[in-house]
Structure 1
Amino acid sequence: MTLVLADRTKVYPHRILEDVLVRVDGTIFPADFVIMDIEEDEEAPILLGRPFLTTGKALIDME
């Protein structure tokens, strides 16, 4: 699998997690996650929309 990022660079998954049970607002469903190992770019922060974060009651823990 090859992923093309917004800046048109290509990255390859470090790992793929399949059928992980995710709970959103009381509903549980399987989801797949693609884990990438990419360099940090402080000028391009991760942007997740507020509606998505609110619906999912997301907790973001990054080091």
Structure 2
Amino acid sequence: MQLSLVDCSIVHPYGILHDVLVRVAEIVFPADFVILDMEEDREVEPLLLSRPFLATGRALIDVEMGELMLRTH
């Protein structure tokens, strides 16, 4: 799989998380997340993830390394 970004560059996903349960208000639905390995760009707004979402994904955050990992099992 390859993705065409808004700047017309082509990237290959690092991986895909399938059927992750996402809750919005009282609705829970499965969603797929495409994982990209991208360079840091201070001009781009960061993706904000809520605490409940991070808890559902059993997130591991390494601030020093700048990494966030969501476990699927």
Shared topology, TM-score over 0.5? yes
- Structure 1 segments of 4 or more deviating over 6 A? none
Unmatched tracts of structure 1, length 5 or more: none
One-letter identity of the residue aligned with 1:7: D
How is 1:43-62 mapped onto 2 (pairs within 5 angstroms)?
Answer: 43=43, 45-46=44-45, 59=50
What percentage of aligned pairs have identical amino acids?
52
Residue deviations 1:31-50 (CA, integer Å, cap 9, x gap)? 0000000111223x1377xx
* Alignment coverage as a number of residue pairs: 54
| TM norm structure 1 | 0.69
Task: Output the aligned Cα RMSD.
Answer: 2.5
Q: Which has the higher contact order (CA 8 A, sep 6+)?
A: 1
